[in-house]
Structure 1
């Protein structure tokens, strides 16, 4: 099972086994990771699952689709080059070791 590391604002990291086919957002929600609100339950409508993908792992991701790219302009914390909606990141074996940093707030 792929491992995803969620890094809190204070630097505390939690590495979680997330089943392939599950979103990075659902991996956080199912494991009580603070910092992912997911108000729209993964429907790419609210941007409350915003994460900053670590520079060391961002190259593993496909580019953001236009709907995700548009929503990233409305995140509570500033958009950065590694900004993504975790509901749009589907876990695969290729993402094993992915590191995401949580923003200070989601709404």
Structure 2
């Protein structure tokens, strides 16, 4: 005969914090009131997608030159230009997060 195991999902749901506090108040009414602190739920990170732009080499070289003059990556330069046009750009996308390359490569 096989033994049936109870699945964890079949367990009774946990009582809400308010129910636990109400039960504690009933058990000892002299206990001072407490406020339950619930930790904030962290927001799920926004997915990152690729954006591929094809352009003439002269355009790419011009963007690269201006980016080097400003000490930014090409991506950061383009994101700042889009932001100046009024397009909402996520703060993380405004940062230059390109890996630093060793000199001589």
Superposition TM-score, scaled by structure 1 size: 0.21
- Highest relative contact order (Cα 8 Å, sep 6+), 1 or 2? 1
Q: Which has the higher helix share?
A: 2
Q: TM-score, normalised by structure 2?
A: 0.21
Question: Larger Rg: 1 or 2?
Answer: 2
Greater strand share, structure number: 1
